[in-house]
Amino acid sequence: QKEVEQNSGPLSVPEGAIASLNCTYSDRGSQSFFWYRQYSGKSPELIMSIYSNGDKEDGRFTAQLNKASQYVSLLIRDSQPSDSATYLCAVNGATGGFKTIFGAGTRLFVKA
Amino acid sequence: GAGVSQSPRYKVAKRGQDVALRCDPISGHVSLFWYQQALGQGPEFLTYFQNEAQLDKSGLPSDRFFAERPEGSVSTLKIQRTQQEDSAVYLCASSLFNGPDRHSYEQYFGPGTRLTVT
């Protein structure tokens, strides 16, 4: 079992729709959770961080964390073609360390 | 302000050569991370520094890989006797790390160095 798992996709949604991206993690001691966006040929760019159970909203993005289910999600409302990228889920703080584990990423295509 | 910078951006090495990859973190950032990213995969953790101390090097794939950050700022990742399987993008990230403020743990990435071993 991978430590951080994501559907590889591709996930295809029409412009204006809600894109839902999911991530599960295996270490219950994990403390910090991040979503990064990575365009092809570019480096990861932080878009959301979440540390406690519940929802966190920032503009068109909402991150959701459920530690009991070891599940993190990212919702993108009013998806735009410019949102087309790979979205990486990252988890750290397990067992008190700073080692950060990334998922393999979900490719999102937003069709105009 | 200036972000994380890495050099060189591209490096081609013949198998068996040694390479050195440089990372300049954001000014004032305490923590520095190195990752290896293969095509189609997420970044794989290599090592982590807090100031000049290397606190975790569990991700370094072999003893050919060595990282240092002698003055707690610039870091160098060195790969000795490069092999074809070392071909990847090497990413550096830094974070402020301000004790209990969890937002200071957020990592910001440099543009990466693409290493090709022929």
Q: So what's the pLDDT on residue B103?
A: 73
Does B66 touch chain A if contact means CB atoms closer than 8 Å? no
CB atoms within 10 A of CB A80: 12
* Long-range interactions of B40-45: CB distance < 8 A, separation 24+: B40/A104, B41/A104, B41/A105, B42/A4, B42/A88, B42/A90, B42/A102, B42/A103, B42/A104, B42/A105, B43/A44, B43/A88, B43/A102, B43/B91, B44/A102, B45/A99, B45/A100, B45/A101, B45/A102
The three state secondary structure string of chain B is: CCCCEEECCEEEECCCCCEEEEEECCCCCCEEEEEEECCCCCCEEEEEEECCEEEECCCCCCCCEEEECCCCCCEEEEECCCCHHHCEEEEEEEECCECCEHHHHCCEECCCEEEEEC
For the record, the structure tokens of B103 come out as: 């937002």
Q: So what's the pLDDT on residue A25?
A: 95
Question: How far B81 CA sits from the closest chain A CA (Å)?
Answer: 26
Residue B71: exposed, middle, or buried by beta-carbon count in 10 A (0-12, 13-18, 19+)? exposed
Contact B45 A101 (CB under 8 A): yes
Instruction: Flag whether pLDDT at A88 surpasses 70.
Output: yes
Q: So what's the pLDDT on residue A9?
A: 85
Question: How far B13 CA sits from the closest chain A CA (Å)?
Answer: 20
Surface of A (49-68) touching B: CB under 8 A: 49, 51
Q: How far apart are CA B6 and CA B25, in angstroms?
A: 9
Q: So what's the pLDDT on residue A1?
A: 64
Does A88 touch chain B if contact means CB atoms closer than 8 Å? yes
Q: So what's the pLDDT on residue A95?
A: 58
Give the residue carrying structure tokens 């002698």.
B70
Contact A45 B111 (CB under 8 A): no
Chain B neighbors of A32, CB-CB under 8 A: 102, 105
pLDDT tens digits, one per residue of A23-70: 999 988 888 999 999 999 999 999 999 999 999 999 999 999 999 999
Contact A99 B45 (CB under 8 A): yes
Q: How far apart are CA B34 and CA B23, in angstroms?
A: 9
Instruction: Flag whether pLDDT at A97 surpasses 70.
Output: no
Question: How far B34 CA sits from the closest chain A CA (Å)?
Answer: 10
Instruction: Flag whether pLDDT at A85 surpasses 90.
Output: yes
Does B40 touch chain A if contact means CB atoms closer than 8 Å? yes
Instruction: Flag whether pLDDT at A84 surpasses 80.
Output: yes
Q: How far apart are CA A100 and CA A38, in angstroms?
A: 17
Question: How far A88 CA sits from the closest chain B CA (Å)?
Answer: 7
Instruction: Flag whether pLDDT at A72 surpasses 90.
Output: yes
Q: So what's the pLDDT on residue A29?
A: 86
Which segments of chain B have a pLDDT < 70? 1, 98-100
From the candidates B105, B106, B114, which should be mutated to test the interface with A, based on the most A CB atoms within 10 A? B105
Distance of CA A78 to the CA centre of its chain: 17
Mean pLDDT of chain A: 93
Instruction: Flag whether pLDDT at A93 surpasses 80.
Output: no
Q: So what's the pLDDT on residue A8?
A: 84
